[in-house]
Structure 1
Amino acid sequence: MRIRTWWSRSVQGDGGSAAVEAAIILPSLTMFLCLAIAGGRIVTSGAKIDSAAEDAAREASIHRTAGAAQSAAHAAAAESLDDQGIKCASTSVNVNTGGLSVLVGQVGTVTATVTCTVNLSDLLLPGVPGARTLTSTATSVVDQYRQRGD
């Protein structure tokens, strides 16, 4: 004769609990993984946009006129984003070239702001926006002893 205890009954009665646990945990784990991928894309894109803003400011600071600095900054930002593999849904580059108009011998700066809208819709995450706009600003010093344009 076999004696049944409360322990043997509870072990035998847990046959379907693994499927229920998987049904609860698997969607949460998948969502966490997708959020980690989205966060990684945002952080990586932010660093690359920082680099593009630095390139634009540096390129603008070596030109003598505001017009040449503006066009050089736009080209440098576009080239930097392209070289780094960033595909922006929309891009804007704003350059403050006020430092180019200071007198020779005085320190001036040029500031470039790059704004890029990064697409996240390909991740298919519920609750995550389809795009995120990232902005970065960088400043570069103009050589104080270099001749300025008029």
Structure 2
Amino acid sequence: MNLVKSRRRLRWTNRLREDRGSEAIATAIVTPLLLMLLCMAIAGGRIVTSGAKVDAAAEDAARAASISRTYGSAQAEASAAAARSLNDQGIRCASTSTSIDSSGLAVPLGQVGTVTVTISCTVPLSDLLLPGVPGSKTMTSSFTSVVDAYRSREG
């Protein structure tokens, strides 16, 4: 009987030491981690891309404001250009604000002035990442455009 018991014990010990199934366990542990890493990389890329689109909208708005001759038209043109640029690029802002420093329109003819536009766009994370993700991210960008020194202006 002792011989039979020792053989059974030896078989059981050998089974415990075998590596069969260890790859499946490792895969089961590593796969979710790799998927989470991939999702985080995609989310980061989409946020960076959206930030670049807001940068482009600020550039378009500053250029439109620098072409204007008055502060009122600069404000209207910059807001319209920012909205148009964001819409064309597929960015849906929950709230948008456009502020303009158009003091460069008031400099005397022959001197170089600048117009700076700052755009803030609050984007829902469900638009950036996955539908149903709660929260939002506010992206802010500024751009300065040069006003032509010899362009007529009204101040």
TM-score, structure 2 length as denominator?
0.81
* Alignment match of 1:106 (pick from 84, 107, 111): 111
Unpaired runs of 5+ residues, structure 2, are 1-13
Q: 2:29 aligns with which of 4, 24, 31?
A: 24
Choose the corresponding residue for 2:56, options 51, 58, 70: 51
Partner of 1:4: none
Corresponding position of 2:72 = 67
RMSD value, Cα: 2.4
State the identity %. 64
CA distance in 1, matches of 2:97, 2:67: 21
Cα distance in structure 2, aligned partners of 1:101 and 1:28: 58
**Which one-letter code corresponds to 1:82 in the other structure?**
N
Shift of 1:10: 7.6
Larger radius of gyration: 2
**Amino acid corresponding to residue 141 of structure 1 in structure 2:** V
Aligned residues, how many? 141
Q: Which runs of 4+ in 1 moved over 4 A?
A: 9-12
- 1:92-146 Cα offsets, whole Å, 9 max, x none, are 111111111111111110001111123223635xxx9732211111111111111
Which structure 1 segments of 5+ residues have no match?
Answer: 1-8
8 Å Cα contact 1:38/1:120 also seen in 2: no
Q: Deviations over 1:43-98 (max 9, x none)?
A: 11111111100000000001111000001000000000111111122211111111
Give the TM-score taking structure 1 as reference length. 0.84
